[in-house]
Amino acid sequence: MKKLLLSIAIVISSPIVTSAQSYATCSFAGEVNFTTFGPVRPSGAKDKSVTKKHSNGLYFEQTHNITWLSFVVPNDTLLTFDLIPQDPKDNLDFLVFRDEAFFCKEIERGGVQPIRANVTKIDTAAHNSYTGLSASAKDTVVSSPDGPGYSKGIPVKKGERYYIVVDNCTEGKGGFVLLLHLNFPKYTPPVASEDRTTAKKETSPEKDNVKNIDAAPFKVPPIKPANPTKPLVKGKTMLDIVVSDTNGSPVKAELDITGVKAAQVINADTVEYGITLSPRQTINVNCNALGYMFSQTSFTAPDSGGNITLPIRLERVEEHKSFILKDIKFSEGNAIFLASAQNELMNLLEFMKNNPDVNILIKGYVNDPGSDNSGAAKKLSKQRAEAVKAFLVTAGIDKKRMDYKGFGNEHMLFPNPANEAQAQANRRVEVEIIK
C-alpha cells in the first residue's frame, strides 16, 4: 500500500476550535439535525447577498466571517436558540430567514427579507457575549449597537425550513456553537445482527490497512440527539457526546476529556459519553479512532443548562487532509515542553499507533514578526519540531515514519500579532497532509 505523508498542525496557542467548515453561502449551508451544532469556525467569507447599507438593522451593514446554517423544524413550537462564541470576546451578529421557493436564488437577487435580525455589541456590563432568539425578548429587529443581545422567538410549524446566517465580526474568526431549543427525534443505536458481526470481523485491523478500515461497515440511520433521560439539575447542562463518521454512522473512539475537574483527564473508549457541566464551564474533547483523523472539540455550557448533544464527526485518514492539535507549549526561548503539553503529545502518539501506515512531517514555527528570519529563529523552530519527533521516537514510533523542519517566522498565522493570543498562535509546531 502506498503510504501517506501526513502533516498535523500542533498549535502552541490558546483556544482553537477544531472543525473548520466552509458554510459560506446559502447553497452550502450547514445542515443541522442536532440540538447542538458546532463548534463551527468561520472561514472568513463575506456574502453580498445579506449585506445592505442603511437597512436599519434588517441586514448586515458589512460582513466579516459569514456562516450559513439550516434546519427543518421537527415539531410545532416557539423557535428559540443560543449562539455561544467559544471566545467570550467575540461578537456575533445574526439574521434568520424562513425558506421559500428557490430560496437561495432569491436571496442572491435580494428578493427575500429576514424575519429576525440582531446586530448589537457584546453586553459588556453583564460580560455576556451570547446572542440568539428568546421567548422573553420583544424586538424582531435589533439594530442599535447598544440593543439587547436577544431577539423575539418565532412561532414555527413542523416541516418548515429556516436559515440562520451568523457573522463573527471579530478579527480572530473564533468558533461558536448553535444551541437550538428544538426536540429533534431521539437517536436509537442499531440492534446488532449476525450480518453486522460478520462485517466487523471482515474489517478487523489485523487484516486491513488504513485505506479500507471501516469502523461502521453496516448501514445505519443518521445519528440524532440522544436526549438523555437523566433528571435535570437546575442550572446544570447534561451533555451527551456522540461520535460518528461524516455519514452519521457511529464510530467507537478513544475520548480524552479535560476541563470537567481540575488536573483531571477523563478517558473513555466508546461511541457515546455523558457528563454534567456547570454554567459556562468549558471542556475540551480529544477524539482518536482507528483509520480516522484526530479531532478536537471545545464546548462551553450555556447559562440556561438543559439536555444537550455534542456531535463529533470524524473524517477518514486520506491524502491532502490535515488536523490541528493545540496546547503543545514550550518554555520561552527554548525547546523544553511545558507540563501542559503532555496530554496533547499523548494524543499525537495515540494517533501514530492507531495509524501505522501514516508518515508525518513535523514543521516548527516561531513568533518573530519583522525579523529577516535568519539564524536563531529558524534554529529554535527546528529544535521544537525535533523535540516532538524525539518524544514519539522515545515512545516507540519508528523514526523512519517522521521528518521535521524549522521554518522560523515564515507563514505566521498573524503577521502583525495584536495580542498575546495571536502571538501564541504563531508559536506552533505544524503538520499538514502532503502527497
Q: Please indicate, yes or no, whether residues 168 and 52 belong to a single structural domain of this protein.
A: yes
Q: Please indicate, yes or no, whether residues 404 and 425 belong to a single structural domain of this protein.
A: yes
CA distance 77 to 183: 9
Q: Please indicate, yes or no, whether residues 247 and 269 belong to a single structural domain of this protein.
A: yes
Q: Please indicate, yes or no, whether residues 369 and 348 belong to a single structural domain of this protein.
A: yes
Q: What is the mean pLDDT of residues 282-295?
A: 87
Q: How many domains is the chain built from?
A: 3
CA distance 417 to 366: 12
pLDDT value, residue 31: 81
Domain final residue, candidates 180, 208, 234: 180
Could you tell me how far CA 228 lies from the centroid of its own chain? 22
Q: What is the pLDDT of residues 327-376, one digit of tens each?
A: 777 777 788 887 677 777 888 888 888 888 888 888 888 888 877 777 88
β-strand 30-31 against 66-72: which pairing, if any?
Answer: parallel
Range of the domain at 309: 220-314
Task: Give me the half-sphere count of Cα atoms (radius 13 Å) on the Cβ side of residue 424.
Answer: 15
Q: Please indicate, yes or no, whether residues 329 and 290 belong to a single structural domain of this protein.
A: no
Q: Please indicate, yes or no, whether residues 169 and 258 belong to a single structural domain of this protein.
A: no
In a domain, 328, yes or no: yes
Q: Please, which residues have CB within 8 angstroms of residue 123's CB and are 6 or more apart in sequence?
A: 129, 149
CA distance 345 to 325: 9
Q: Please, which residues have CB within 8 angstroms of residue 372's CB and are 6 or more apart in sequence?
A: none
Q: Please indicate, yes or no, whether residues 296 and 369 belong to a single structural domain of this protein.
A: no
Q: What is the pLDDT of residues 98-134, one digit of tens each?
A: 998 788 888 887 778 899 988 876 654 444 578 889 8
Predicted confidence (pLDDT) at residue 227 exceeds the cutoff of 50? no
Largest CA-CA distance found in the chain, in angstroms, rounded: 65
Q: Which pairs with CB-CB distance under 8 Å and at least 24 residues apart come from 346-349?
A: 346/256, 347/256, 347/286, 347/288, 347/294, 348/8, 348/10, 348/294, 348/388, 348/392, 349/391, 349/392, 349/395, 349/397
Higher local confidence (pLDDT), 97 or 87:
97
pLDDT value, residue 307: 85
In a domain, 108, yes or no: yes
Q: Please indicate, yes or no, whether residues 153 and 76 belong to a single structural domain of this protein.
A: yes
**208: exposed, middle or buried (C-beta count within 10 Å: 0-12, 13-18, 19+)?**
middle
CATH number assigned to the domain comprising residue 385? 3.30.1330.60
In a domain, 282, yes or no: yes
Instruction: Name the residue with cell 429576514.
Output: 114
Q: How many CB atoms lie within 10 A of CB 334?
A: 11
Q: Please, which residues have CB within 8 angstroms of residue 306's CB and are 6 or more apart in sequence?
A: 181, 232, 237, 238
CA distance 195 to 200: 9
CATH number assigned to the domain comprising residue 226? 2.60.40.2190
In a domain, 60, yes or no: yes
In a domain, 20, yes or no: no
Q: How confident is the prediction for the chain on average, in pLDDT?
A: 75
Written as one letter, the residue type at 432 is: E
Q: Please indicate, yes or no, whether residues 89 and 118 belong to a single structural domain of this protein.
A: yes
In a domain, 435, yes or no: no
